[in-house]
Amino acid sequence: MGRTKVLALGRDRNGAPRTPPLTDRGKWQLAWDRASRIRPGGRYGVVRLNAHTYPRSGAYGSALGNRLLAKLRKGDRIVVTGSGGRRQCYRVTRRTRVPAGRALPQYYSDSGPSRLAILVCSGKRRGPGDWSHRTLWFAQPDR
């Protein structure tokens, strides 16, 4: 998949994790839900990441979400490297697609074993920022 920067962002006024900025650089970055305080390599909870998906026919081209939708599969490895060079490896254990607006308790879990989740918009684009589905990948530490 290549390397990408992870931005430590807060939440919006509705309590949802913020997404990367809508810029040429931001469309290739991941956002981490800093407000959760759940970090890669922690003992419990979900490290929540998200990225943008762009319309395939749009003038702005594709984004990281498009690449993940096309290439990230069950069994793939994800390596997260912290600012001090510490690495945490994960193995994708599940990919799922859910209708937009559906509750995502597994994505927002603060308990249970340590794991990582990535969320991107998918399905049919109904308008700017309005997609019919969300695709999520869940990954377990690869020890």
pLDDT digits (tens, 9 = 90+) for 54-106: 987 665 678 999 999 999 999 999 999 987 888 999 999 999 999 998 989 99
pLDDT value, residue 108? 93
- Cα separation, 6 vs 10, in Å, equals 13
pTM here?
Answer: 0.93
| Position with higher pLDDT, 2 vs 25 | 25
**Segment among 10-14, 36-40, 58-62 with least mean pLDDT:** 58-62
